[in-house]
Amino acid sequence: MLEPMLFKLLATAGIVILVALAVARVGPRLGGILAGTPVILGPGYFFMLREQAPAFVQEAVLSTLHALVATLLFTVCFVISAARLSAVKSLGLASLLWVPAAMLFTQLPGGLMGALGAYLAVLVVAEGINRWLSLGQPVVVASSGWLDLLLRGLLAGGLVSLATTLAARAGPGFSGIILGFPAGILTIAWALHERYGAEVARMTVSMTQRGMLSLLAFCAVSYLGVGRLPGMVVFALSLAASMATSSLLFMFSLWRARRLYAREAG
């Protein structure tokens, strides 16, 4: 029991720290894509696929997809509120919104296609809000040392470890919802807000909305593969689909940034 929990804690803490450091080098746009990678879903479903029956995992995956729609609303709420509120208050408000939204979206009909359609529809609205807010590309300047980053990374790891451990003891629906809670995004946003400022955190979190498409790819492959293929094969294919999606988003963002730079230079 302790070894899996320690693994989840350290792995997630490492990802949070790497994302925060990456933002300083590649900027919030690309950092947001990294933040959308399966920080929680990876370790969570790795252990679930090993320990639970296929029917349990498939139902949990569908609940996670529904919860991800609520997570998208979480990011929108943070991006709007962080302009005026502190990190703790804006993240608290976003979390309060996530809870009823997750409960509501679990009632969505249509199975896999219904969940994917709902996410894409809300993503279009989120993109419109981002354009309306006219979020820029802020200059990244660290305002605190390594200790704050390490502590927030360990906090993220603790949240993920606790969530995935509780999920293993709950029913499939509740397990999927727990794994869909944006603990990774929450702690990454908190770390960036305190370390680099509100604008960097807002821009990075706005980009996780697209970055989370990698989570949709992970869940879709898991949902379709579980029960048909061995658990670890399903996990490998899901992770490969997620990383491929993130890579495509990363390359598209690089291409777009270079195009904008060339247009401004010309």
Please give the DSSP secondary-structure letter assigned to residue 109.
S
What is the rounded CA–CA span in Å between residue 202 and residue 130? 10
Report the SS3 class of residue 120: helix
**Quick one: CA dihedral 202, 207, 208, 210, positive or negative?**
positive
Higher pLDDT, 137 or 140: 137
pLDDT grade, residue 212 (50/70/90)? very high
pLDDT digits (tens, 9 = 90+) for 72-122: 999 999 999 998 999 999 999 999 999 999 999 988 888 999 999 999 999
Q: What is the reported pTM?
A: 0.83
Place of tokens 């296929």: 54
Among 3, 132, 123, which residue's Cα sits nearest to residue 73? Answer: 123
In this predicted structure, the answer to whether residue 68 has a pLDDT above a threshold of 60 is: yes
| DSSP-assigned beta bridge partners for residue 226 | 229
Which residues does 101 contact at the CB level (< 8 Å), separation at least 6?
A: 69, 70, 73, 74
Rounded Cα–Cα distance for residues 5 and 51 (Å): 15
